[in-house]
Amino acid sequence: MNVDAPAQARPPVPSGAKRLKGRHLLGIAGLEPSEITLILDTADAMKEVAARPIKKVPALRGRTVVNLFFEPSTRTRTSFEVAEKRLSADTLSIATATSSVTKGETLADTVRNLEAMAPDMIVIRHGSSGAPHLLARICRAAVINAGDGMHEHPTQALLDAFTIRAHKGRLAGLKVAIVGDLLHSRVLRSNLLLLNAMGADLCLCGPSTLIPAGLDRPGVRTTAVIDEALDGADVVMMLRIQQERMHGHFIPSLREYFTLFGLTPARLRRAKEDVIVMHPGPMNRGVEIDSEVADGPYSVILEQVANGVAVRMAVLYLLAGREAEESIDV
Amino acid sequence: MKLLLKGGRVVDPAAGRDGEFDILIDAGRIVRVGRDLPVNGSEVVELKQGWIVAPGLIDIHVHLREPGQEHKETIASGAAAAVAGGFTGIACMPNTHPVNDHAGITQFILKKAAEAGLARVYPIGAVSLGSRGEQLAELGEQKQAGCVAFSDDGRPVATALLMRRALEYAGMLGLPIVDHCEDPSLKGDGVAHEGQYASALGLRGIPGVAESLMVERDVSLAELTGAHVHICHMSARQSLRAVRAGKERGVAVTCEVAPHHFTLTDAALDGPVKYDTNLKMNPPLREEADRDAMLEGIADGTVDVIATDHAPHHGDEKLVEFDRAPFGITGLETAVPLVFDRLVHAGRISVSRAVELLSTNPARVLNLPGGSLAENAPADIVVLDPDRSVTIDAAQQRTRSRNTPFNGWELRGAVALTLVGGRIVHRAV
């Protein structure tokens, strides 16, 4: 299908970076603030595509993108797939249950076999931290990290930043509280790097059993008292309690977790009047967040999902490189 | 044929000797050590100015992988790597397939070692059957077959009760228990030192106290039983403290440190190659304070032995996700360059102390022959070229595996010659 692209939809050229330095997006670590801004600005333009009657542009026509998901994922996988389709890429999604991984094939061999089919990009979600880095070492394709173990989930942090910026107009100087299982969360690690780099003021909160070593740094402090974290917050980001990881000795019970750390309307009153409440999903209602808050007026949780598509379009587009950039207006 | 090593600085702490001497070898033994020995028809090996002649090095912590995992290493390839690294003797851990918990396996290892005819191989038998931590292996028969110590290496001796009995029983036989110290519940499924780097990289952490808790247990049990416990590959500063305190009270405890633990820290994980599985070993690379404590213990005498924990793994096994990769790196062919570059040339220890850590003490700890250049001792000798710079090239090493984090490193300190039983088994080109 041939789609005429309106000129006004070309991404605005930001003052700093014009393209990404790296070939891959393995994490927020390694991105410079100007590159983060470039992705967010590009996502602004991409968001406009979703508002059109025909939500498709030919930017990645003829490119092959493989979505390689070794962990169950609904939100992230469908978000990438929608983003790829809106950019006209040929896409292929592989989930572990249907691949040779179950036959004992190593990740390296799986990827070498995929490479033989010459994909341009591989989007990978994997339970082991660093799996995308291994891919990047052995692949010709550009690698996009869609979540690796307890390490990073860069596109989630980018869509979170995009959502925050849409509401607050900036990231620098904002008070952001992140509450939950800090130890196991890749969403936390990416958000920490991104928001810290962009000058936000972070307060991280969770039970002391779930606070890993080495988080504190200028602009970042940790606390086990949720009220302290919420005080005057512009943004409250709740992290999922992964029940399968609790093993009975990180927290005594989900009930007690909610008592001590659950986000309730009463607690939320400590935050600023125009606070926004975020959650990367999937939510455990009544564990980390009260339904009244999740569905309440401050919640931007569904907006996050919508923005995910625009941000992932931006990442795919920018990584596709100069060729895609120059051949086609978005 | 007699062999005369002429020139060179003889460093033999066991004999209190450090100076210019010649060494005369006959029928595999050292016949004389003296100044300007007459040639009298011997074959002369002229040593260069600055070369060091030391008793053959002994690595008391090596994984030879045979029987069972010959794709990683064989007894022959491991013995070849040993002599290339200056080691004339190596003690091999029992975690083969099957586990060396039986005299028949010890005999097999010794037969293969004799066929290889390179380094001397000293088997370490399992403490418990299958190293499962349930029932004592037949330690007495294992000793008769040739085992020099007992260990469930790779795993700690599981319970305090089993450790107590093992110490008492091995003590009766006059052999030490060599323990890989780690509390299994604190280690959990950790893959890296618990600290800022593991946090940032999302790797599950192993705290230093997972090691030191078990060291404290072992020191207490050695005290109770009066038997000798040797602590493997110490990495945590708390462990060093526990050993030091034990030694001060007169407990029969000795310990070793591996070259990677006095050279690297967990910061390397965040290096140019992220998630490099050649930086994954157990115990893990720890933080700077731990590394510095190891350096201090090496210098002040708390550490008895430098042992490599040579743990070869095939490249395919290491080319996987970090948390799925096996623990361990090779060490036989990088130990001498690291000891000289990082310890001797860095001014932390003397040449004599280096020889003590690599030869005199390992022999003493496991009561092995060697470790000295005394007259009538077997002529197991290493000649070191301390000022030659080498670039580590994993592909050129004699070990079957290439899993070293030191590939490409340029280090000052090399092996010139290795003699086992008076025979030159390695000569650097």
- Residue in A closest to B321 by C-alpha: A131
B169 touching A, CB under 8 A?
no
Map tokens 């600290």 to a residue.
B195
Mutate to test the interface with A, among B186, B189, B199, B209 (most CBs of A within 10 A): B199
Q: Are B204 and B189 in contact (CB under 8 A)?
A: yes
Q: Nearest by CB to B202, which of A138, A150, A214?
A: A150
Q: Cβ atoms within 10 A of the Cβ of B36, count?
A: 9
Chain A residues inside the 8 Å CB shell of B273: 137
Alpha-carbon span A174 to A265, nearest angstrom: 21
Q: Which pLDDT band holds residue A104 (cuts at 50, 70, 90)?
A: confident
C-alpha distances in Å from residue A152, one per residue of A84, B176, B320, B330, B425: 21, 46, 18, 31, 51
Per-residue pLDDT averaged across B293-298, rounded?
Answer: 98
- The CA angle B193-B256-B359, to the nearest 5 degrees, is 145
The separation between CA B129 and the C-alpha centre of its own chain, rounded to angstroms, equals: 24
Predicted confidence at residue B48, as pLDDT, reads: 95
Element at A175 (helix H, strand E) = strand A175-179
Q: Are B396 and B428 in contact (CB under 8 A)?
A: no
Tokens of B142: 């294992």
Per-residue pLDDT averaged across A56-62, rounded?
Answer: 93
Q: How far apart are the first and last CA of chain A?
A: 15
3-state secondary structure of A299: strand
B289 touching A, CB under 8 A?
no
Chain A residues inside the 8 Å CB shell of B274: 26, 130, 133
Q: Nearest by CB to B321, which of A26, A134, A150?
A: A134
Predicted confidence at residue B325, as pLDDT, reads: 96
Give the domain B3-52+379-427 fold: Urease, subunit C; domain 1 (2.30.40)
pLDDT tens digit sequence for A186-208: 999 999 999 999 999 999 999 99
- Residue in A closest to B194 by C-alpha: A213
Number of A to B CB contacts under 8 A, please give it. 67
State the amino acid at position A329 in one-letter form.
Answer: D
pLDDT tens digit sequence for B160-204: 999 999 999 999 999 999 999 999 999 999 999 999 999 999 999
Predicted confidence at residue A102, as pLDDT, reads: 61
Q: Are A328 and A57 in contact (CB under 8 A)?
A: yes
Sign of the four-CA dihedral B322, B325, B327, B330: negative
Q: Are B7 and B46 in contact (CB under 8 A)?
A: yes
Pairwise CB contact (< 8 Å): B196 & A213: yes
Predicted confidence at residue A4, as pLDDT, reads: 42
The separation between CA B174 and the C-alpha centre of its own chain, rounded to angstroms, equals: 21
Q: Are B426 and B87 in contact (CB under 8 A)?
A: no
Domains B3-52+379-427 and B56-365 share a fold: no
Pairwise CB contact (< 8 Å): A130 & B324: no
What CA dihedral angle connects B98, B99, B100 and B105, to 10 degrees?
A: 0
Chain B residues inside the 8 Å CB shell of A212: 198-199, 205
Pairing of strands B3-6, B22-26: antiparallel
- The CA angle B115-B148-B250, to the nearest 5 degrees, is 155
Alpha-carbon span A125 to A131, nearest angstrom: 8
Alpha-carbon span B421 to A156, nearest angstrom: 65
pLDDT tens digit sequence for B66-87: 999 999 999 999 999 999 999 9
Q: Nearest by CB to B320, which of A106, A148, A214?
A: A106
Alpha-carbon span A99 to A110, nearest angstrom: 8
Q: Are B154 and B94 in contact (CB under 8 A)?
A: no
Predicted confidence at residue B351, as pLDDT, reads: 98
pLDDT tens digit sequence for B80-115: 999 999 999 999 999 999 999 999 999 999 999 999
Q: Nearest by CB to B199, which of A108, A138, A212?
A: A212
Chain B residues inside the 8 Å CB shell of A151: 201-203
Per-residue pLDDT averaged across B18-24, rounded?
Answer: 97
Predicted confidence at residue A14, as pLDDT, reads: 44
Q: Cβ atoms within 10 A of the Cβ of B68, count?
A: 13
Chain B residues inside the 8 Å CB shell of A186: 202
Mutate to test the interface with A, among B189, B203, B319, B321 (most CBs of A within 10 A): B321
3-state secondary structure chain B: CCEEEECCEEEEHHHCEEEECEEEEECCEEEEEECCCCCCCCEEEECCCCCEEEECEEEEEECCCCCCCCCCCCHHHHHHHHHHCCEEEEEECCCCCCCCCCHHHHHHHHHHHHHHCCCEEEEEECCEHHHCCCCECCHHHHHHHCCCEECCCCCCCCCHHHHHHHHHHHHHHCCCEEECCCCHHHHCCCCEECCHHHHHHCCCEECCHHHHHHHHHHHHHHHHHCCCEEECCCCCHHHHHHHHHHHHCCCCEEEEECHHHHHCCHHHHHCCCCCCHHHCCCCCCCCHHHHHHHHHHHHHCCCCEECCCECCCCHHHHCCCHHHCCCCCCCCCCHHHHHHHHHHCCCCCCHHHHHHHHHHHHHHHCCCCCCCCCCCCECCEEEEEEEEEEECCHHHCCCCCCCCCCCCCEEEEEEEEEEECCEEEEECC
Query: Higher pLDDT residue, A30 or B77?
Result: B77
pLDDT tens digit sequence for B130-151: 999 999 999 999 999 999 999 9
Q: CA nearest B179: which of B404, B365, B399, B405?
A: B365
Phi-psi map region of B200: left, alpha, beta (phi>0 left; psi -120 to 50 alpha): alpha
Give the domain B56-365 fold: TIM Barrel (3.20.20)
Q: Is the pLDDT of residue A308 over 80?
A: yes
Distance (Å) from the alpha carbon of B286 to chain A's nearest alpha carbon = 14
Map tokens 């005080």 to a residue.
A231
C-alpha distances in Å from residue B171, one per residue of B177, B221, B252: 8, 12, 11
Identify any residues that bridge with A90 across adjacent strands, giving them in sequence order.
A64
DSSP state of A103: G
Distance (Å) from the alpha carbon of A198 to chain B's nearest alpha carbon = 18
- B309 is a catalytic site residue: yes
Distance (Å) from the alpha carbon of A219 to chain B's nearest alpha carbon = 16
3-state secondary structure of A277: strand
pLDDT tens digit sequence for A203-245: 999 999 999 989 999 999 999 999 999 999 999 999 999 887 7
Q: Are A184 and A148 in contact (CB under 8 A)?
A: no
Residues counted in chain B: 429
Residues counted in chain A: 330
For chain B positions 199-218, those within 8 Å of chain A (CB to CB) are 199-205
Q: Is the pLDDT of residue A5 over 80?
A: no
Who contacts B150 (Cβ-Cβ below 8 Å, separation ≥6)?
Answer: B124, B125, B126, B127, B137, B139, B142, B166, B170, B175, B176, B177, B178
Q: Nearest by CB to A107, which of B196, B273, B320?
A: B320
Pairwise CB contact (< 8 Å): B202 & A106: no
Per-residue pLDDT averaged across A83-109, rounded?
Answer: 83
Q: Which of B22, B152, B266, B309 is catalytic?
A: B309
Pairwise CB contact (< 8 Å): B319 & A212: no
Pairwise CB contact (< 8 Å): B321 & A128: yes
Element at A158 (helix H, strand E) = helix A154-168
B197 touching A, CB under 8 A?
yes
- What residue ranges do the domains of chain B occupy? 3-52+379-427, 56-365
- Report chain B's mean pLDDT, rounded to a whole number: 97
B320 touching A, CB under 8 A?
yes
